[in-house]
Amino acid sequence: MPRSETANSQNASAVRTSRTLTTDMLDLEALKSFDKIKSDDGSDILIELIDLYLQGTSQRISAMHKAADERDERQLKDAAHTLKGSSSTLGLRQIAMACQDLEAASSNSPGDVPMLMRLLESRFLEAKPALIGERNRRLLLRNKFNGAERH
């Protein structure tokens, strides 16, 4: 295969991989279903929801670490349950699954908690770029529309 064709095929495969990753980590269709709902000022509510999710999840994961270190089963279970709810609603199925496993492990198999916490953290780190990308795309669109309305 000529060199340029190889490079093209590698690029195409990278794009495919990144799209697949995005789909695995973040179900954009689930997110899109909330397009109809507008925030108080009539703008895209998903920008605000993603911001709240990103802020809240970092804090929640820290609280879960603390609860795991202190073997506070109730606290860990409650935090995992709450995070599972918003993650599944926003289409972050892998994070929701990790939370579900943590919820179960907190009472049934506490020995698995450290490994599951690492898994949750890595899934959050993997999902973050896709979420930020989607947020920025929507922000750009909003600014574009606002600019067009002003002119």
Partner 1 sequence: MSQFQMTFKKPTPNRVLIADDDPVMRHLLAAVVKQQQCEVVIASDGREAYRVLQTDSQFRAAILDISMPFLEGLDIVHYMRSEKRLMKIPIMIITAEENLKVMSDSFSAGATAFLPKPFTSEQLESSIRMLLHSQKLSRIAS
* Residue 149 engages partner 1 in binding (rule: CB under 8 A): no
Distance (Å, whole) CA 60 – CA 98: 14
Q: Radius of gyration (Cα) for the chain, nearest Å?
A: 19
For 38, the 3-state DSSP assignment is strand
Minimum distance of partner 1 from residue 47's CB (angstroms): 11
Please name the residues in contact with 29: beta carbons below 8 A apart, sequence gap of 6 or more: 91
Interface with partner 1, residue 34, by CB under 8 A = yes
Residue type, 42: G
Site string for partner 1, 71-110 (x = CB under 8 A): -------x--xx-xxx-xxxx----x--------------
Binding site for partner 1 (CB under 8 A): 30, 33-40, 45, 48-49, 52-53, 56, 78, 81-82, 84-86, 88-91, 96
